[in-house]
Amino acid sequence: MKTVLLITDAYLPEIRSASHLMQELAEGLRDRGYDIYVATSYPQYNLTENDRNIDYPDFVVEGGIKVIRIKTLPHHKVNFIIRGISQISMPYIFKNRIKKCLKKIDIILVYSPPLSLASLGGSLKNFYGAKYILNVQDIFPQNAIDLGILKNGFLIKFFESIEKKAYRNADVIFVHSEGNESFLKNKHTEISEKFIVLHNWIDTKEFDGVERTNEYRKKYGLENKFIILFAGVIGPSQGLDFVLEVAKKVEDLQDLVFLIVGDGMEKKNLEQIVKEKKIKNVIFKDFVSKAEYPKLVKDSDVGLVSLTNKNKTPVVPGKILGYMAAGLPVLAFLNKESDGHKIIRNANCGYSCENGDLYNAEKFIRMLYQSNNLKDTGLNGRNYVKEHFDKDIIIEQLIYNF
């Protein structure tokens, strides 16, 4: 039996795309006979109310998956200096714990971001003689440069050197879209053969048999509303200030509401904007658990995805696939480079435009609001994701490269 170590900053009970992807991957590999370990940060962020203030064990076996939870310095909801120090120290803390817990590893798979964990993969590869696979989701430091977060020339060169070393040490580098593959091949021509497209996956079975119950509509007092749902991390890369601008433009649709469910460093700022500008059709709620998420989505009419146009990489938000799997029409405000536009267009499951394009954003909202074919539009997305992005299909493609 081969031993596989998954290294990820986020894992359940944290509510993030990364944690869901890694849990589903761990379960999929376990079901195929692999001995699975997950090394992850101690749960501190993006938790439901019920999951807060719990003393989680440092090592636990959950459904046959061995989870190592590692306490690190704060790295979310802190200033970028503290976050940088935390991420630089993270691989050393992870490495010490992993070496104490595992005597043998055959395959190491690292989820990045953060980039610092990608650098850990090469070190562990040499120590254990394992194959090192890197799954690159956000292209750092390029995305931080684009967002204006990283400006110091010395720091940019420092993180670019870490990036080059991490990529050089990896045996295979998976990226989640063709655009990301082209971007990185052009940037790292000397190792271009290492880059392979492995689309992000979704467990479509989670939505099988889930019907609208109106549970969340009643809980939030939205029984007779047309709900446009954004569910996820509320950070600077999401560009949700544009969503507030659009919401103000469609206030005449009195039964339409933007429901933003989640948390992040931009949440308080957005709540203040809503208060100051007296935007009446936007409400904020806390995260719901992974188990409750399908019911929340089913109680909504449209799934909203947003990325600021400051992003210059072809990133595809993971929540697109979740909405599609639930049979929900998708409305996306993305940077022009995002491959999410292509997915939505090919699936014929909704509308997308560039974040900041107020004219088309408003137009698409009104079209969805007035549509009599929302169910068919959502079904298009579900059929497409089952054919192209279902968990079992993608995991088999991954295993082919073991």
CATH superfamily placement of domain 3-198: Glycogen Phosphorylase B; (3.40.50.2000)
User: Average pLDDT over the chain, rounded to whole?
Assistant: 93
Residue 3: name the closest of 68, 58, 56 by CA. 68
Among 40-44, 140-144, 154-158, which range has the highest average pLDDT?
40-44
Q: How far is CA 310 from CA 147, 208, 307, 319, in A?
A: 5, 37, 8, 19
Place of tokens 């993030």: 16
Residues contacting residue 365 through CB under 8 Å, at least 6 positions apart: 228, 246, 250, 253, 256, 331
- 266-289 pLDDT, tens digit each: 999 999 999 999 999 999 999 998
Q: What is the mean pLDDT of residues 33-61?
A: 91
pLDDT of 75 over the 90 cut = no
Among 9-18, 67-76, 126-135, 313-322, the minimum mean pLDDT is found in 67-76
Binned at pLDDT 50, 70 and 90, residue 77 comes out as low
pLDDT at 73 over 90: no
What is the pLDDT averaged over residues 195-211? 92
pLDDT of residue 316: 93
Question: What would the pLDDT profile of 256-266 be if each residue is shown by its tens digit?
Answer: 999 999 999 89
Which pLDDT belongs to residue 146? Answer: 85
Ordered alpha helix ranges (H), 33-114: 80-101
User: 353: number of CA atoms within 13 Å, CB side?
Assistant: 13
pLDDT for residue 37 is more than 70: yes
Confidence check: pLDDT of 302 > 90 = yes
User: Where is pLDDT greater, at 265 or 105?
Assistant: 105
Query: What percentage of the chain carries pLDDT values higher than 70?
Result: 98
pLDDT at 80 over 70: no
Hey, do 3-198 and 204-388 end up sharing a CATH topology, with the first three levels equal?
yes
204-388: CATH number: 3.40.50.2000
Q: What is the pTM of this model?
A: 0.88
The pLDDT-based confidence of 209 (bands split at 50, 70, 90) is confident
343-378, pLDDT tens digit by residue?
999 999 999 999 999 999 999 999 999 999 999 999
Question: What 3-state class would DSSP assign to 237?
Answer: helix
Tokens of residue 225, six digits? 């509303």
Band the pLDDT of 78: cuts 50, 70, 90. Answer: low
The more confidently predicted of residues 84 and 243 is 243
Percent of the chain with pLDDT over 90: 78
Q: What is the pLDDT of residue 274?
A: 96
Mean local confidence (pLDDT), 288-313 = 94
* Contact status, residue 93 vs residue 86, Cβ threshold 8 Å: no
**Cβ within 8 Å of residue 111, ≥6 positions away:** 6, 7, 8, 9, 18, 21, 22, 117, 135, 137
| Long-range contacts formed by 83-86: CB under 8 A, 24+ apart | 84/155
Do residues 262 and 179 make contact, with C-beta atoms less than 8 angstroms apart?
no
Residue 50 is predicted with a pLDDT of 84
5-32 residue pLDDT tens: 999 999 999 988 899 999 999 999 999 9
How far is the C-alpha of 179 from the C-alpha of 182, rounded, in Å?
5
**Which of these, 251, 273, 204, lies nearest to 362 by C-alpha position?**
251
Q: What backbone torsions phi and psi does residue 107 show, to the nearest 5 degrees?
A: -135, 130
Segment 242-256 shows an average pLDDT of 96
Lowest mean per-residue pLDDT among 78-87, 177-186, 391-400? 78-87
Q: What is the rounded CA–CA span in Å between residue 388 and residue 363?
A: 29
Q: Enumerate the domain spans of the chain.
A: 3-198, 204-388
